[in-house]
Amino acid sequence: MSDAPKILIVEDDEQIADMVRDSLNEQGMLVEVAADSAAMDAKMHALDFDLIVLDVMLPGEDGFSICRRLRGSGDIPILMLTSVSSDIDRVVGLEIGADDYVTKPFVLRELTARIKGLLRRSRVTSQRPDSLRKSFFRFDGWQVDPARRQLHDPSHARVAMTTHEFDLLLAFCQNPGRVLTREQLLSATHAGLAGPIERSIDVHISRLRQKIEKDPRDPTLLKTVRLGGYIFTANVEEVHV
């Protein structure tokens, strides 16, 4: 049981929280529930969770604020859950670092599948010993480690990345100098993001630029190709170890 994924549900609707918890328990996951940010903080202080299911409309500190705060201190996968269905709210959630976004009412099977997908990608590195690391990528002083799913800046500091941000960066490193369409990039994230393809991908690209570009408003590494998609212009070196 020690290897079972640990999930924290932050949801003030007891009926929804219980329903999701029971479903995830049936899938072999260990689940805790918090009704507000204070309860969430207490549980996160006591346990290390693998993923957070975060409702937007909470008493006190709302989900957007919580997500922004969590992203400032780590890269735990966050799936936002809300009754708000507008594209604007989806985009805001993605902009502040959510990995995925599901609106109520939702199909429990789909929610579970999305959670499993995020866990699968975020946990793969913790299951790989150093001896299985085969290669990493370098560009402009940056280092991308696919096995550990880590990005280090030119000063060797680790940069926090969401699951989708890392998936996109890895796709670009594997295809330098090649135009990748939004559909190809969506496929690289291994998940159907909520909302229109263009908006979802563009939001993640914007966040990625904030992390690797000297001036995100005038990108030199990750450029937009009109009517085409995006191209990674960096000189990428693949280093085998």
pLDDT (0 to 100) of residue 105: 85
CB 20 within 8 A of CB 108: yes
Which amino acid, residue 83? S
- For 90-115, how does the pLDDT look when each residue is reduced to its tens digit (9 = 90+)? 777 777 888 888 888 888 999 999 99
pLDDT (0 to 100) of residue 131: 42
Question: What's the distance, CA 96 to chain centroid?
Answer: 10
pLDDT (0 to 100) of residue 97: 81
Burial (0-12, 13-18, 19+ Cβ within 10 Å), 233? middle
pLDDT (0 to 100) of residue 103: 86
The CA distances from residue 87 to 32, 92, 184, in Å, are: 29, 9, 21
**CATH pick for 6-123 out of 3.40.50.150, 3.30.365.10, 1.10.10.10, 3.40.50.2300:** 3.40.50.2300
Q: Which residues of the chain carry a pLDDT beneath 70?
A: 1-2, 84-88, 123-133, 190-199
What does the alpha-carbon distance between residue 166 and residue 9 come to, in Å, rounded to a whole number?
A: 24
pLDDT (0 to 100) of residue 3: 81
pLDDT (0 to 100) of residue 85: 64
Domain boundaries in the chain? 6-123, 131-240
- For 7-50, how does the pLDDT look when each residue is reduced to its tens digit (9 = 90+)? 999 999 999 999 999 999 999 999 999 999 999 999 999 999 99
pLDDT (0 to 100) of residue 132: 43
Name the token pair of 74: 């780590």
pLDDT (0 to 100) of residue 148: 83
Name the token pair of 199: 């908006």
pLDDT (0 to 100) of residue 7: 97
Q: Which CATH class is domain 131-240?
A: mainly alpha
